[in-house]
Amino acid sequence: HSGNELSAAVWKDLWPIERRRQREFFCFGMDILLKLDLPATRRFFDAFFDLEPRYWHGFLSSRLFLP
């Protein structure tokens, strides 16, 4: 095995596809948040914390799984 193949195999075993997708989603969200101005950021977080607590608790604790 080449070094690249070995590192890819190790990465795949350490980070299951669900966790890799979750990380990509978090990175996408952060990219969006960084583009917002202050009023838009405040509106976003007001709306986020207006959700039922189980949603934002789950999201912030990385335990939110929806069907």
Q: What does the pLDDT look like over 12-29, one tens digit per residue?
A: 888 888 888 888 989 999
Alpha-carbon radius of gyration of the chain: 17
Cβ neighbours of residue 49 under 8 Å, at least 6 residues apart?
56
Q: How far is CA 30 from CA 4, 34, 36, in A?
A: 29, 6, 10
Q: What does the pLDDT look like over 29-38, one tens digit per residue?
A: 999 999 999 9
pTM of the prediction? 0.65
16, 24 Cβ separation under 8 angstroms: no
